[in-house]
Structure 1
Amino acid sequence: MNPELPAGCTLAASAFNWTPDVIRAERTATDIAVGIVEDGIASTIELEPGQLWRSFPTPLDREVDELRGRLDAARGRVSIVGASLDDWIDPTHRRSDAERLEFLRPQLQAAHRVGASGVRLPVGQAGRGLLEQLLPLLADLDLVLYEEIQGQQSPASPATAPAIQTIADLDDPGLRLLVDISMLMPALPPSYLDRLERAGIPRALLARLEYDWQDPSTGDAVVEHLRSGAVPASIHAMYMNLLVRFGRSEAVELRDILPLVGAFHLKFWDLDDAGARVSAPIRDLGTVLAGTRFAGTLTSEWGGHEWLEEADASDMTRRHLALAREALVEGGLVAAGTGRAHHGAQ
């Protein structure tokens, strides 16, 4: 019997994966988003409206309705919409919580109009005061607000734990965490290391990044090299991934927060799975989720287009979704009676 994921666990694709296509503008952003469904890559998609609607952050109804109509015709649906919260009116005037709510309101209304189940913000950005004001609006629009943790954030980190505790304290189904598995990186992507090498990063540091990524002292070496001023300007932003977007956590660290988690980003950078560097974190996640009541989206999100500009997003996403499904099943996340025995947490 072919193993199936449990009911309620949905594999999805993020339109973010097609960022280079959006930049090339050979097709409209709406055509690209709808094409994900029409081409059979995924029937559920996550949207980045800043790339999609020219009127963002106050999306026009006609733009939203065009996408909704075309997705309906293709039998596709939207899971989560990436929201944006600009906390500042200008460099010296910060928005009040009431003003921040009004900044978000049209984005939430657009998410509802396009048929999304939720919207996404970085963990902790909203703060308790705004969250308390948002919850009635979220309920009216039948939306969930997901606060995302990723990269070097972790459930126990001082910068993240208070925001997670706020979600727990508010105890409302309209507020959940989204976990990006960029937190769970056993090794760095070879394509990224190759880009650093071509830019002139010293071989000694590259060796540490390749073979000792999970050693915390490697992070110290990364900071030391940055402070030396030796990072070439051409890759400065890319180098910062080492300090922000690439994490060292283990999947078991998620167990205590699982009741608060409503969605996952299955972040990948390239598809070089030597040593199971791509599949192992997904398999470990499947093990942690097996036997739980998790129901939500597990979304393929490709971050490597930053340095793999010529790779085909459709091909990368198709292959990653196939790999992800297999890895989740291997971890034990299967519908009852359809799959393999669950081996338990390792």
Structure 2
Amino acid sequence: MAPEIPSSWTLCASSFNWTPEIIAARQTAQDIVTGIADSVVGTIELEPGLVWRSFPSPQDAEVDGLRDSLAATGGSISIVGASLDDFTSSTGRRSLRERLDFLVPQIHAAHRVGARGIRLPIGQAGTELLTLAQPLLHELDLVLYEEIQGQQTPGSPAVEPALDAIAWLADDHVRVLVDVSMLMPALPVTYLEELRRGGVPEDLMGRLESDWRDPATLDAVTALLRAGGVPPRIHTLFMNLLIRFGRSDAADLQGILPLVGAFHLKFWDLDDDGGRVTQPLRDLGILLGRNGFTGTLTSEWGGHEWLQDDPTEMTRRHLALAEMALAQTSVVERVETPVSG
């Protein structure tokens, strides 16, 4: 019998994976999301800016339409991605009360659609806003997740104070979401191919292919950027090296696991050469199995930025790969770790 992930872990897929199809609008966004629940995986993490035209103040009719459509297929929403626009203009910043007023309709919409939580970038809300939002989160029994990803680490200057604030609140309704884009042993094969075709110098390509985690590689990336050596046509793609692709190990998450309630299983392509895709998941499975993790693990595909593959097929294959990698290592860890008491 094949190993299974613990029943306390919920595998999901993000509607973000279907961004190209939603933009193409050959079907309504609601129909696409409902189709995910019907044919890929029953639990979905929602990017509402892609789905609700009235976002960031979602109208009840739009929210109810998606909720009812999902209910008809037995589907559900896990987390809703929230937005916090801190500025009213290029120079005008929202007050604390205005920031709360901007967020509250999204919290209500998440509850109305049946979600269990909402998501913001790590540190964007700040302690004061989190404190003001707590009563509503408790009233609606929603969790606000702050996401850490890519080049960020638990010890990053912008991240550590936010983690300390969440720990200080000591509230199960304010948690951390970790994106495994932090845990990249090597860069995606298809991404490297795009950079080479785009004209990145061969000396840097050699570093990117063989020494991604070497700090000197990131120095070389920055040096090329500052020298104006990045071809304009791939400039945005190149910036992933500085923002979206991380170089941490799963062990670096040990200290913050008590605060973590969800993960994004970020993937870019499914070329698993050298364990690029599965090794971080195996490492994560060991860590989560050892620490009794409970929460969601969401397949999130970022590779549609440069790939034209079918998102449904990509997500199905990734979920199968992820479940196998996580199950094998989590089962081993749960068997080998003695239970105290």
Shorter-normalised TM range:
over 0.9
- What is the CA-CA distance between 1:234 and the residue it aligns to? 1.5
SS of 1:93's equivalent? coil
| CA–CA distance in structure 1, aligned partners of residues 240 and 331 of structure 2 | 30
Counterpart contact for 2:4–2:328, Cα < 8 Å? no
Counterpart contact for 1:117–1:142, Cα < 8 Å? yes
Relative to structure 1, is the Cα distance of residues 280 and 342 closer, same or farther in structure 2, using a 3 angstrom cutoff? farther
- What is the CA-CA distance between 1:238 and the residue it aligns to? 1.0
| Segments of 4+ moved more than 6 angstroms | none
**2:81 corresponds to 1:74:** no
| CA–CA distance in structure 2, aligned partners of residues 283 and 122 of structure 1 | 25
Counterpart contact for 1:139–1:174, Cα < 8 Å? yes
- What is the CA-CA distance between 1:292 and the residue it aligns to? 2.1
2:142 aligned residue: 143
1:331 aligned residue: 329
Question: 1:75 is matched by which residue type in structure 2?
Answer: G
Question: 1:5 is matched by which residue type in structure 2?
Answer: I
1:130 aligned residue: 129
SS of 1:85's equivalent? coil
Stretches of structure 1 that go unaligned for 5 or more consecutive residues are none
RMSD (CA atoms) = 1.4
Cα deviation digits, residues 179-220 of structure 1 (max 9, x gap): 000000000001001111111000110110010001011000
Counterpart contact for 2:16–2:300, Cα < 8 Å? yes
SS of 1:105's equivalent? helix
Counterpart contact for 1:12–1:44, Cα < 8 Å? yes
Counterpart contact for 2:146–2:175, Cα < 8 Å? yes
| CA–CA distance in structure 2, aligned partners of residues 137 and 42 of structure 1 | 30
- What is the CA-CA distance between 1:7 and the residue it aligns to? 2.0
| CA–CA distance in structure 1, aligned partners of residues 224 and 59 of structure 2 | 46
How much identity, in percent, do the aligned residues show?
61
| CA–CA distance in structure 1, aligned partners of residues 2 and 192 of structure 2 | 37
2:48 aligned residue: 49
Q: Which of the pair is proportionally richer in helix?
A: 2
| CA–CA distance in structure 2, aligned partners of residues 142 and 153 of structure 1 | 29
| CA–CA distance in structure 2, aligned partners of residues 321 and 113 of structure 1 | 27
Relative to structure 1, is the Cα distance of residues 333 and 79 closer, same or farther in structure 2, using a 3 angstrom cutoff? farther
| CA–CA distance in structure 1, aligned partners of residues 8 and 27 of structure 2 | 33
Question: 1:123 is matched by which residue type in structure 2?
Answer: I
1:321 aligned residue: 319
Counterpart contact for 2:180–2:280, Cα < 8 Å? yes
Question: 2:144 is matched by which residue type in structure 1?
Answer: L
TM-score by length of 2: 0.97
Counterpart contact for 2:79–2:115, Cα < 8 Å? yes
Mapping of residues 1-346 of structure 1, within 5 Å: 1-39=1-39, 41-308=40-307, 310-333=308-331, 341-342=335-336
Question: 1:317 is matched by which residue type in structure 2?
Answer: T
SS of 1:201's equivalent? coil
Question: 1:7 is matched by which residue type in structure 2?
Answer: S
Question: 1:327 is matched by which residue type in structure 2?
Answer: A
Relative to structure 1, is the Cα distance of residues 20 and 117 closer, same or farther in structure 2, using a 3 angstrom cutoff? same
SS of 1:291's equivalent? helix
| CA–CA distance in structure 1, aligned partners of residues 332 and 56 of structure 2 | 39
Counterpart contact for 1:289–1:333, Cα < 8 Å? no
Counterpart contact for 1:88–1:94, Cα < 8 Å? yes
Question: 2:75 is matched by which residue type in structure 1?
Answer: G
Question: 2:184 is matched by which residue type in structure 1?
Answer: M
Aligned residues: 338
| CA–CA distance in structure 1, aligned partners of residues 197 and 82 of structure 2 | 35
